[in-house]
Amino acid sequence: MSAVVPLALRDLGGEGAPMLVLHGLLGSSRNWLSTGVALAANGWHVYAADLRNHGASAWSDDCSYQAMANDVVALIAQQGWQSVHLVGHSMGGKVAMRVAMDRPESVARLTLVDIAPKVYENRVREEFTAMAALDLTKIHSRKEADLALAQSVSDWAMRQFVLTNLHASADGSWQWSVNRVALTNAIPEIMANPLTNGECYRGPTRFICGGKSGYVTDADWPAIKTFFPLADRVILPESGHNPHFDARGGFVEAVGRP
């Protein structure tokens, strides 16, 4: 078992019960700035963490869900929270599932955003291939990086999302802020189901799904209910895989008040 990685934590404000948000693959706590403020206005004290190998958190070769969940459990203990409303999007949702199974007493409420406890096909191959092909020694601006990525990633929004992980160092060179190599090697594990048969979290659980996404289907629901017997589901019809971006108002309403 790998050592726990201290996680960078962003305080998004608010008063009331603590809510801890976990981002998806290639994301960071920055992705939750606007939605986090909206959730805080809804009665929560909202925090967003950078998972290992992302954002401002440290890197590790171990990208397993168990390792990522252990980091989150340690963070909750470090902050002195008795329990939290744990919100996880995509990969972060799978981490949240693992935390809920391992430490149910630390999770007062669970919100899983457009993700199910199942194996997914490799939906990120294109982005990781493009990142690997980008010669950072020849990049002098974000615009140049965008033009280079456009040769293999046609979707503008996806390119902008990938580019949130590119930053200029003090010497002017460009570097990835994610551990691209470790994450690339771990893609099969990241696409896997973090849960095993027989596990069960009996706390209140809500799945918030994008109606245009396809990440969570009706066929997934029987298995979901075996792992999360108290689960319910909110579908935001106009949203894709990122309901917190695509349908922010509906998303905040679906998360609910304390």
pLDDT (tens digit, 9 = 90+) per residue, 177-218?
999 999 999 999 999 999 999 999 999 999 999 999 999 999
Please compute the mean of the pLDDT values over residues 141-163 and round it to a whole number. Answer: 88
The CA-CA-CA angle for residues 208, 209, 215, to 5°, reads 135
Query: Given a cut of 70, is residue 33 above it in pLDDT?
Result: yes
112 sits in which H/E element: strand 107-113
Please compute the mean of the pLDDT values over residues 34-39 and round it to a whole number. Answer: 97
Q: Which pair of structure tokens corresponds to residue 176?
A: 């990835």
In order of 92, 119, 185, 208, 227, the CA distances from 231 in angstroms are: 18, 19, 33, 11, 9
In order of 25, 132, 139, 230, the CA distances from 172 in angstroms are: 26, 20, 10, 51
* % the chain with pLDDT above 90: 84
Please compute the mean of the pLDDT values over residues 81-88 and round it to a whole number. Answer: 98
Lowest mean pLDDT across 17-31, 112-126, 226-240: 112-126
Amino acid at 74: A
Query: Given a cut of 70, is residue 236 above it in pLDDT?
Result: yes
Query: Given a cut of 80, is residue 229 above it in pLDDT?
Result: yes
Please compute the mean of the pLDDT values over residues 41-53 and round it to a whole number. Answer: 98
Per-residue confidence (pLDDT) for residue 73, from 0 to 100: 98
**Closest listed residue to residue 242, CA positions, set 125, 172, 160:** 160
Round the average pLDDT of the chain to a whole number and report it: 95
Residue 202 burial (CB count, 10 A): 10
Query: Given a cut of 80, is residue 125 above it in pLDDT?
Result: no
| Residue whose pair of structure tokens reads 């594990």 in the numeric block | 189
Per-residue confidence (pLDDT) for residue 240, from 0 to 100: 95
Strand, helix or coil at 49? strand
Per-residue confidence (pLDDT) for residue 1, from 0 to 100: 66
Per-residue confidence (pLDDT) for residue 158, from 0 to 100: 84
Residues 6 or more apart from 106 whose CB is under 8 A from it? 73, 76, 81, 82, 83, 84, 99
Please compute the mean of the pLDDT values over residues 29-38 and round it to a whole number. Answer: 96
Q: Which domains does the chain have, with CATH numbers?
A: 9-120+192-255 (3.40.50.1820), 125-185 (no CATH)
Strand partners, 233: 207
Query: Given a cut of 90, is residue 17 above it in pLDDT?
Result: yes
- Helix pair 142-149, 156-163: axis angle to 10 deg: 130
- Helix pair 156-163, 125-133: axis angle to 10 deg: 60
DSSP-based helix, strand, coil % in the chain, nearest 5: 40, 20, 40
Q: Which pair of structure tokens corresponds to residue 240?
A: 């894709």
Strand partners, 232: 206
